[in-house]
Amino acid sequence: MTVMFHIDGRILPEEEARVPAMDRGFLFGDGVYEVLRTRKGRLFRPDLHLARLRKSASRIRIPMPWPDEELLARVRETIEAAGNEESYVRVILTRGTGRLPNIDPVHAAPDPNLVILVRPLELPTPEEYARGASAWVVETLRNDRRAMDPAIKSGNYLNNILGLMEARDHGAEVALFLNAEGCLTEAPTSNVWIVRGGEILTPPPEAGILLGITRGLLLEMGRKQGLPVAERRIDRTQLFGADEIFLTSTLKDILPVTILNGRPVGEGSPGPLTRDLASRFALFADSLL
């Protein structure tokens, strides 16, 4: 397993990689990031990921002085140096190294810091896809859009961590968050979908979610193929009455949820629509390479 970093124009192995202790991402979570992956050795839809990175950076007023071509060149250089068969890529942008340990951005450096991490890609195992995940609807609410908007993919992950710890306290692998109105939002690192009455539903942006790349591609695929996909408000009753539940993310594609709050979802195994969507999406993703 080879892990490589690109920091300050240098490619470094993990044991040599360092960021300043006064970096605002380290001190305050004052930064944004993206996670990309390769498929068949090629970066998968980097255009979508970099567009979202720029949008997140703009939302918290961090400049991005590098054009996409330069960012992608650095990413590919790091991937080549790592030499893994398939790669996980994390691009981290922080407000830079501050002059004082003070939250006021006036103390930030004029230039942001950029870190690229490449490591071997680790996906759920075939057994995990066949078994499905266990989930718990946690009491920890999703951050309100009017406070810390989940649509900003920031390095401030404490809300997600607290929810995940709560789910683990109940023996579950995945936390499912509700918003203040009691409607489903997302999981800590995944979007959530339900199948109910033949419809394939996922919460809308206004529920307070990150607009996942895989989520968007699955909606695109579903609409192109005439599948009954829709963005819709999902309350607690609808969630617990779902015939099937699954997660989507860059590092999962489509992962079934077969246990919810200790009870089977449907038959307690990956449902037929979830399995069909997973097969369809694998072919769709390959067509986009």
CA distance 98 to 30: 11
Going 50 to 51 to 57 to 61, the CA torsion angle's sign is: positive
Binned at pLDDT 50, 70 and 90, residue 212 comes out as very high
pLDDT value, residue 118: 98
CA distance 2 to 160: 28
Average pLDDT on 167-192 reads 98
For 160, residues 6+ apart whose C-beta sits below 8 A from its C-beta are: 175, 188, 189
pLDDT surpasses 90 at 1:
no
pLDDT value, residue 128: 98
Q: In this structure, are strands 199-202 and 229-231 parallel, antiparallel, or unpaired?
A: parallel
pTM of the model: 0.97
Binned at pLDDT 50, 70 and 90, residue 63 comes out as very high
Binned at pLDDT 50, 70 and 90, residue 245 comes out as very high
Place of tokens 């002085």: 65
Question: What is the percentage of the chain residues whose pLDDT exceeds 90?
Answer: 99
pLDDT value, residue 69: 98
Domains and CATH numbers, the chain: 4-120 (3.30.470.10), 126-287 (3.20.10.10)
